[in-house]
A and B are shown apart, each in its own frame.
Chain A
Amino acid sequence: EADIYQTPRYLVIGTGKKITLECSQTMGHDKMYWYQQDPGMELHLIHYSYGVNSTEKGDLSSESTVSRIRTEHFPLTLESARPSHTSQYLCASSEVGGHTQYFGPGTRLTVL
């Protein structure tokens, strides 16, 4: 098992709420990623970071934002959740120069 953690694992909230999905890793990896995955579908990269104070948008446009103040922590925030944000969100990390990504267990978000 990789040392990368996501909380909460499941979240059901109402429309308009602000939420933050937490992701932490203890492997000292500089690179971290957020993916969005609908059930049975492919993963779409929505944000990534190459280190502290570095964040970039991914291939799939997302209304979420991220921050990277500490190496081990890469939270994702939705300022105003909508039903279209209902999905699974997966966090991953990798070493600089490493090709393998290590994934957390995911957060399944449902917006009513």
Chain B
Amino acid sequence: SQQGEEDPQALSIQEGENATMNCSYKTSINNLQWYRQNSGRGLVHLILIRSNEREKHSGRLRVTLDTSKKSSSLLITASRAADTASYFCATDRNFGNEKLTFGTGTRLTIIP
């Protein structure tokens, strides 16, 4: 089973609506990151939230982290067609070891 699992696997919304995707993980973490991947491309880092933080904002992105539930959510407000991509959460498990474990991803489609 995966350290990180995103939910839902796929999401389609109208442009302008908000998109929320969730990530669950199994072991203790130091921080959790969200990455975006456009089709057939590499990943781009979006935001990092540390284990002692509960919420973080960056532009139209809002990330929450609940370490008691081992879960995180990514909210994209006022979605745009350019937000169409796959979104992955990634956790690093061991202090001082920056290896990341990626989740299964949420495929987001914004309908113009």
A40-B107, A90-B43 given; A48·B99 CB < 8 A: yes
In the complex the two chains form, is B88's CB within 8 Å of A43's CB? yes
A40-B105, A40-B107, A42-B88 given; A103·B44 CB < 8 A: yes
B33 in complex: contacting residue of A40, A99, A102, A108, CB < 8 Å: A99
A interface residues, how many (CB within 8 angstroms): 29
Q: Quick one: which of A64-102 are within 8 Å of B by CB?
A: 88, 90, 92, 94, 97-102
In the complex the two chains form, is A103's CB within 8 Å of B31's CB? no
**Interfacial chain A residues near B105, Cβ < 8 Å:** 40-42
In the complex the two chains form, is B42's CB within 8 Å of A90's CB? yes
In the complex the two chains form, is B103's CB within 8 Å of A42's CB? yes
**How far does the alpha carbon of A6 sit from the alpha carbon of B98 in the complex, in Å?**
22
In the complex the two chains form, is B43's CB within 8 Å of A99's CB? no
Q: Whose C-beta in chain A lies nearest to the C-beta of B30?
A: A99
**Interfacial chain B residues near A101, Cβ < 8 Å:** 43, 45, 90, 98, 100
**Interfacial chain B residues near A4, Cβ < 8 Å:** 42
Instruction: Report 19 cross-chain contacts, Cβ distance below 8 Å, ordered by A residue.
Output: A2-B44, A33-B99, A40-B86, A42-B102, A42-B103, A42-B104, A42-B105, A58-B99, A59-B101, A99-B30, A99-B48, A100-B45, A100-B48, A101-B43, A101-B98, A103-B35, A103-B42, A103-B43, A105-B41
* Chain A positions near chain B (C-beta within 8 angstroms): 2, 4, 6, 31, 33, 35, 40-43, 45, 48, 58-59, 88, 90, 92, 94, 97-106, 108
